Amino acid sequence: MIKPIFVFLSLSLLTIPSFSFAENSVASIGDAFWEAYNSQNKMSAINNGTAENPVPIDDLSLQKLKRLAEKYDNLAMKAESISNTSLSEMEKNNLATLVWMLKAEADWLRSPLRRLTFNTVYSWLDVYQSTTLPQGWDAPDMRARYSERLALLPRYISQQQALLEDGRLMGVTQSCVAVDAHIDTVEKMLGSSPFLLPVAKVMDEMTGEQKEEINTGNDNATRALASYLQYVKTDYSPFCRKEAGIQAKDAYEKSLNYYTSTDVTAKHLHLTGKQEVERNLKRLDDIIQSGKLSGLVNVDSVEQLIAAMRTRPTFFAKDKDEIITRSNDVVEQVKSRMGDYFSFNGNFPQLHVVPMPDYVAEKAPAAYYLQGGDAGGTVSINTSNPTERNIHSLPALLLHEGLPGHHYQIYTKLQNKSVPPYRSNYYFQALTEGWGLYAEGYGEKLIENYSVLDQIGEISMELLRAGRLVVDTGIHTMGWSREQAVNYLTQNTAESDIVISNEVDRFISLPGQATTYKVGHLAIMAERSKSETSLGVNFNEKTFNDAVLQRLELPVEAFQKAMERWTEKQLQKFGR
């Protein structure tokens, strides 16, 4: 996964194209949307490099969200009035993207689920800290302005409280597990002076006046956070959601549209997930029946294989060093072969593999990717409890997060200077994560010492993604209990008890988001199947992969239409 609090890329690496436009043109509407989006999402603007002023943070007042949603409605009407018959291929993609983004963002701003400002994966505090800490406030030209940032925090914190209360009044509250975890996190933060961290190393170098301003700002922000905590504990916690499913079913259906960028229903996703689970269980059975496991893992059924994957030492790392060594080995092997299937060369930005910091590893996923500008990207691997981690899932994990997954996708996007910023800097979750899942399927082609146990590790990861479709929709539309969700994943995946527990709590507290991986993957695979069938012997895998990569900054339906047009052009090229 791309760490969710870093969902925008740095525009400092991009040369933004100049667009000439008339009123109500695709370019003018895109420009108006991006200006409005950044005016409200100021921390996103900081992260993507478009912020001229480093101090402001998001204005999340209910009145501002209402006005912004209305502006998006107006822009969407203008966008829908534009005929695409005379538009270029790029303009068609831009228009389709804008229509979806404007409608989806307007719906999201109004959604009671937008009022769930924390979950078991991350919170508004994580978003704030992840934006603030890397800004370099300890630099001489920045430290004098840090008191300005601190002065904004009380309002920002009170707005989080207002959002939670508005959601409660709309009938939607966060799960009790997420609330308890959030209370614990905030209590720990209050005991560690978190708002002084960005300047802690240079406080002794400041003037007395600067110190006083910063300490006053910190005191005010800390009091605001303490007041917020009291609200959560006293006024919000008693109403926390004890049942697993979200209270607002209509809002859940819309959240699926927002996260997947499709009109797919929960019922359809549930059935699709079950089909994908069965398909992947059959893949495991086929391996068993082939005899390839003879002498490695002696099992006669999928049930026995799943049990073995949870208990046999064969599947687990010996220590942290083995995890990092194998990860680096996979990256180097992939580099040597990747050019056969993707437009990749040795001059590509560097990919680093590092152990995940201990303070985040306990509840973190197996790995996450962070884009790091000119220094290259980093895959942080979870090495905590190494003897409980499946060493044979590492190849698929590195393919997903690194090459040819997120690292390759993101830096290729940064090098594409023709795409407007509202596409290149927006997190299209389904296709972004779908590409990562698509990349996992290249183990046998890209890794020289890829084993049958590595293949089982890859299938195991895909089973979890398919299971997410079943469990997420089961919880929020079919009345599944937490126990039912845990039992389903236990029976149909090889994940450990702790992973399954964390996954289910994630689905409960972050409705809809986990469905994105498989939706995007299925969309890419469907377009590949159609292209292979249409082009026959003229199908070129490398050319297809390049075409997909150039069209990932789109909602799924627009991506499908764009790939259909690409295939049609390929047919014309070959005279078919």
pLDDT tens, residue by residue, 281-292: 999 999 999 999
> When comparing pLDDT for 249 and 403, which is higher?
403
User: Distance of alpha carbon 70 from its chain centroid, rounded?
Assistant: 27
Beta bridge partners of 369: 2, 379
pLDDT for 5: 40
Rg of the chain on CA atoms, in Å: 24
Alpha helices in 338-420 (DSSP H): 358-361, 394-401, 406-414
Is the pLDDT at 1 greater than 70, yes or no? Answer: no
Is the pLDDT at 387 greater than 60, yes or no? Answer: yes
Structure tokens at 219: 């005191």
pLDDT for 418: 87
pLDDT tens, residue by residue, 88-144: 999 999 999 999 999 999 999 999 999 999 998 889 998 898 889 889 999 988 988
pLDDT tens, residue by residue, 228-282: 999 999 999 999 999 999 989 899 999 999 999 999 999 999 999 999 999 999 9
Is the pLDDT at 361 greater than 60, yes or no? Answer: yes
Provide the pLDDT confidence category of residue 339 given band limits of 50, 70 and 90. Answer: very high
d(CA 75, CA 81): 10
> When comparing pLDDT for 399 and 48, which is higher?
399
Helical axes 176-190 vs 497-509, angle rounded to 10°:
90
What value does the mean pLDDT take over residues 331-355? 93
Give the Cβ contact number of residue 526 at 10 Å: 12
Is the pLDDT at 517 greater than 70, yes or no? Answer: yes
Residue 349, preceding bond cis, omega within 30 degrees? no
Helical axes 176-190 vs 124-132, angle rounded to 10°:
40
Is the pLDDT at 178 greater than 70, yes or no? Answer: yes
pLDDT for 266: 97
* pTM > 0.85: yes
Is the pLDDT at 415 greater than 90, yes or no? Answer: no
pLDDT tens, residue by residue, 152-172: 999 999 999 999 999 999 999
pLDDT for 280: 97
What value does the mean pLDDT take over residues 396-405? 97
pLDDT tens, residue by residue, 441-492: 999 999 999 999 999 999 999 999 999 999 999 999 999 999 999 999 999 9
pLDDT for 2: 63
Is the pLDDT at 363 greater than 80, yes or no? Answer: no
DSSP letter string over 446-513? Answer: H-TT--HHHHHHHHHHHHHHHHHHHHHHHHHHS---HHHHHHHHHHH----HHHHHHHHHHHHHSTTG
d(CA 408, CA 385): 29
Is the pLDDT at 558 greater than 70, yes or no? Answer: yes
- Buried/exposed 296-316: b ≥16 CB within 10 Å, e otherwise: ebebeebeebbebbbeeeebb
d(CA 504, CA 87): 45
pLDDT for 110: 97
Is the pLDDT at 17 greater than 80, yes or no? Answer: no
Q: Which of 13-22, 121-130, 402-411, 543-552 has the lowest mean pLDDT?
A: 13-22
pLDDT tens, residue by residue, 193-239: 889 999 999 999 999 999 999 999 999 999 999 999 999 999 999 99
CA–CA distances in Å: residue 576 to residues 423, 546, 570: 33, 21, 9
pLDDT tens, residue by residue, 55-84: 999 999 999 999 999 999 999 999 999 998
